[in-house]
């Protein structure tokens, strides 16, 4: 019995991190998908040759940190080896107002103790530029969270659906009270 030689051609992926502003991936229409110029080293008949190609990365609304975009066999090439895949990994830029938690967006509002006890109206400008006015009529305790359904990030696998906007509160307590104020507060709170 003769032996048969088996030649294996393996490849390794080329990974690149692509940093995205998640406020840009919140819209249903992403106007300017990034274009990336790629210089690839090819091995043509034993000679290394550099080729240049422009790849368009189609970013889908709602994509999260860690999402991978793969261009099969667009990486470097070596003689006798399958060209590597070129893989881009989405990373998110921090936003000045919102934090992302999965498909939800979180915003924190600073309010006074009086507003926490008597009511407050939240004014929020969404990532797509709309102004929301949300009245808070409940008593706001330090762990209270107001949820506005459907105002978060688009859910990529469920077109037309969005996560929620979660509003948290940072309650500012007075630094000191006079004895008359303390007595008045005790009287008000114990009489109810």
Domain parsing of the chain, residue ranges: 14-93, 99-174
Q: Are 32 and 57 in contact (CB under 8 A)?
A: no
Whole-Å CA distances, 56 to 1, 36, 67, 71: 52, 6, 16, 10
Number of helices and strands in the chain (H, E): 2, 11
> φ and ψ at 152, to 5 degrees?
-95, -145
**pTM of this structure:** 0.75
**90 burial via Cβ count (<10 Å: 0-12, 13-18, 19+):** buried
Which H or E run contains 19?
strand 14-21
> φ and ψ at 184, to 5 degrees?
-60, -45
Tallying the residues shown for the chain, one arrives at 192
**Of 127, 171, 176, 125, which is closest to residue 153 (Cα–Cα)?**
127
Which CATH fold would you assign to the domain 99-174?
HSP40/DNAj peptide-binding domain (2.60.260)
Superfamily designation of domain 14-93:
Urease metallochaperone UreE, N-terminal domain (2.60.260.20)
pLDDT digits (tens), the chain, 192 positions: 333 333 333 445 555 565 666 555 555 444 466 777 776 666 666 677 777 778 888 888 888 888 888 888 887 777 777 778 888 888 888 899 999 999 999 999 999 999 999 999 999 999 889 999 999 999 999 999 999 999 999 998 898 999 999 999 999 999 999 999 999 989 988 875
- Say if 14-93 and 99-174 have the same CATH topology: yes
> φ and ψ at 176, to 5 degrees?
-160, 160
């Amino acid at each position: 019995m003769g032996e048969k030689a088996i030649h294996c051609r393996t490849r390794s992926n080329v990974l690149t991190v692509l940093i995205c502003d998640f406020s840009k991936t919140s819209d249903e229409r992403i106007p300017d998908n990034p274009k990336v110029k790629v210089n690839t080293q090819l091995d043509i008949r034993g000679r290394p040759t550099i080729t240049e190609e422009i790849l368009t990365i189609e970013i889908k609304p709602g994509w999260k940190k860690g999402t991978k975009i793969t261009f099969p066999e667009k990486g470097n090439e070596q003689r006798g080896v399958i060209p590597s895949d070129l893989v881009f990994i989405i990373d998110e830029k921090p936003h000045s107002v919102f934090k992302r938690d999965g498909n939800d967006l979180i915003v924190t509002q600073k309010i006074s103790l009086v507003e926490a006890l008597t009511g407050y109206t939240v004014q929020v400008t969404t990532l797509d530029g709309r102004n929301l006015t949300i009245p808070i009529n409940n008593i706001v305790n330090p762990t209270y969270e107001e949820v506005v359904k459907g105002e978060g990030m688009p859910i990529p696998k469920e077109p037309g659906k969005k996560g929620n906007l979660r509003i948290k509160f940072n309650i500012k307590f007075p630094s000191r009270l006079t004895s008359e104020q303390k007595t008045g507060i005790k009287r008000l709170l114990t009489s109810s």
